[in-house]
Structures are given as structure tokens and as C-alpha cells.
Amino acid sequence: MKTQSKYIAYANLGAVALDLGHGLLSPVKPIVNENGLPFFQYVGLLSLWNVDVRVQATILLVIAWHMGFALHGLFIGALFRILSNGCSKRLVTKGIAVISLMNGIAITAYSINFFLCGNEAEYSVNSTSRSIFVKTRTPINVSFILCFGIPFLCLLALFCVMWRHLSSFQIETLSRTCIRRQKMLFANSFIQFLVPLLFFASPTAARLIVNRLGSSQSEAVMDFSSFIRTFYGSVFTLITILLYRPYRKYFTDRFRYRKRSEQTEAKKLTESFPLAS
């Protein structure tokens, strides 16, 4: 559990980083023009501090990749805990982890090359409104592939490794208790995966669909989706505490200790200052 706890903590770090980036430091409001190309207005603390919007765009893309990489860590940690050192599935898991990491390096390099070192004829920056207008769909498509496409394929590959491992259980070699605990471990990881799916992917998809359709309610939908996404980190942390017994025990023991301390202090005060009869 000690090894897996590091991956769980890293996944929570990804959730907190996403909340800070998209909810506080650099929330972005995408608006689609009449040609179907978006421009992005940044309305967070970094804009108030006069940070270049191109730097903010690069930061958000890296945070988006990091969220996927942190989610991969949940399943990688579970598999590393279960699979033996010489197992071929463990080697496949390591390969997926390397691909996910290299994907982050690729998106960071592409973002720096496009926004900070690239040709400014491909985009325009409005310093007054803190917005950036991308004149071509190439960076949008590349960002979608690197931030969502490849991470999704890596996650699918990890699911396949888990499925192969679960389907290869032999009752003769493993006890029923061991099998039940391994299945519970994978189930907990899957439940944690549902949190970003509900609190990040779904609101983001709703924003893209509404912008594409040009609905009159697009502004309200975008504001509501941004509001929903701000709960991602807190909900993910709460689910982690509820699912895993060591974390749950730590917090319950803390509250019990505090309650016992308060009761002890109250008893001492009563004994020191008895009420007059």
C-alpha cells in the first residue's frame, strides 16, 4: 500500500493543480467567431498580474496533460502493487507510463514552440482584453490529440492490462480473499476515474457543443460548466479518503483524538472549578 499511496497522492496533486489552474490562476472563456475559430479570454489571477496570455495558454495545456498523467498513476500504482517483477504485464505497464510521460514532454515542447517561439502570424494577442485568437485549427487539433487523445488511449491500454490480469486469476494459486482485494483495488481506481469524467470532461464537452451550435444559452452553459469544474479537486480528494481505509482511518483517528482531548479538557475544568451547589 505504501507504493500505491504515492501514486494516489500524485493523482490528488494533479486534481489540485487543475483546480488552481483552471479555477483560480488562469480560467479561460472560449468564444467561437463566425468562421468557427475560437479566441480565448483569460480572466484569472495571472491576467491581473499581467502575465502574458501565451504563457498562460502554455501553462493550461501542461496542466491538462498532467491531469491525465496523474490519473494514469492511479492504475499504474495499482498494477505495480499487484504484478510481479518478471511479469510481462508489468513491462507493458512501464511502457504505457513512459508513453504518457513522453506525451507531456511533447505537448510542452509544442506549446513553447507555437506560442513563445513560433510565428505570430498564426495567432494574435489582445493585451487589453487578455485574449488570444488562433487563426488556424492546427494547434487546437494537436492540443486535443496530445491532451485527450493519447491519454485516453493510454488509459484504455491500462484497462486492458487490468482486464487481462483479472481474467487470468487461478483459484488454485490465489486465495479468494486475495482475488477479492485485488478486484476491490481496481474498482476503487475506476471510481476515482469517474470523478474527472463527470466534473471535468463532461462540462468541457458541453461547452464545446454549445459553442459549436451557437445557442443563445451558451454564456450560461459556459459559466455553469466552469462552476462545476471547480469542484473536481475537492471531490477527488474526498472520494480518495472515503475509498481507501488508511486515509479514512487517519482522518477519523484525528477527529476522535480531538474529541477526546476536548472532553478531557472539559473534565479538568469541571474538577478544578466545581459548580456551587
Domains of the chain: 2-268 (1.20.1070)
| Residue 168 or residue 105, greater confidence | 105
pLDDT digits (tens, 9 = 90+) for 55-88: 888 888 888 888 888 888 888 887 887 787 878 8
- pLDDT the model gives residue 98: 93
* Cα–Cα distance for residue pair 186/195, rounded to 1 Å: 15
Express as a percent the part of the chain with pLDDT over 90. Answer: 3
269 pLDDT above the threshold of 60: no
pLDDT digits (tens, 9 = 90+) for 11-69: 777 878 888 887 788 888 777 666 656 678 888 888 889 888 888 888 888 888 888 88
To the question of pTM greater than 0.75 for the whole model, the response is: no
Q: How far apart are the first and last CA of the chain?
A: 56
